[in-house]
Amino acid sequence: MIKSIRSISWIALISLFCWLMIDLTLPYLSFTYDVDFLLTKQKIIHVKHWRYAFNFHILFSIFSLIAGLTQFSQYILAKCKKLHRVMGYIYVVDVMCIAGPSGLIMAFYANGNIVSKTSFVLLSVLWIGFTSIAIIKALKKDFIEHEKWMIRSYALTLSAITLRLLALVLPYFVHLNAKDEYAILAWLSWLMNLLIAEVIIYFKNSNRPS
């Protein structure tokens, strides 16, 4: 009972953050170039492949957030296995073919210095890589390893949310110039998530019967 309540609480919390991400994304769907983040990209807004990558990324990343969330519902896994598989394939195709590659293109033009750019490039490569391993494990019916790699993959998916939360909190604790602060945010946003993912995986393994 306690385990179910904890699981529902986590899903509810992540769902809230997903909704906030969707709310932040909606203004960009006007496809105008004077919206919030795009005001910082005026020097490269004319670069077509970056602009297309940005539009694809903000649109399809929403699908990876929502589809990925369904993969960790025990109810869906137990009662709606077909839905679990369909949403899983949507997540995998989205990350590997659209959101991941477009994020990688954007990473080379990321704000900040080479440190932050390197972080986003590595994040994109790992996101695609972890998701690829997860689907390979599923196809081999190694569902325990599949779950582990999906946890890692979704942890990276949630890095977009973590980045925005840290951007609100970090200035209260450190006072750096904008580029250095952004570099710290870039790395913390996904390293923290991966650390949490590994803790979750460790405790799930500990509670799993031998």
Between 166 and 130, residue with greater pLDDT: 130
pLDDT (tens digit per residue) in 31-45:
666 666 666 677 777
Distance CA 71, CA 19 (A): 17
What predicted TM-score, i.e. pTM, was given to this entire model?
0.84
Between 175 and 126, residue with greater pLDDT: 126
Provide the pLDDT for residue 45: 77
Contact 161, 17 (CB under 8 A): yes
Between 63 and 137, residue with greater pLDDT: 137
Q: How confident is the model at residue 2 (pLDDT cuts 50, 70, 90)?
A: very low
**Residue 209 reports pLDDT greater than 80:** no
pLDDT (tens digit per residue) in 4-23:
555 556 566 666 666 666 66
CB burial of residue 156 (10 Å; 0-12, 13-18, 19+): buried
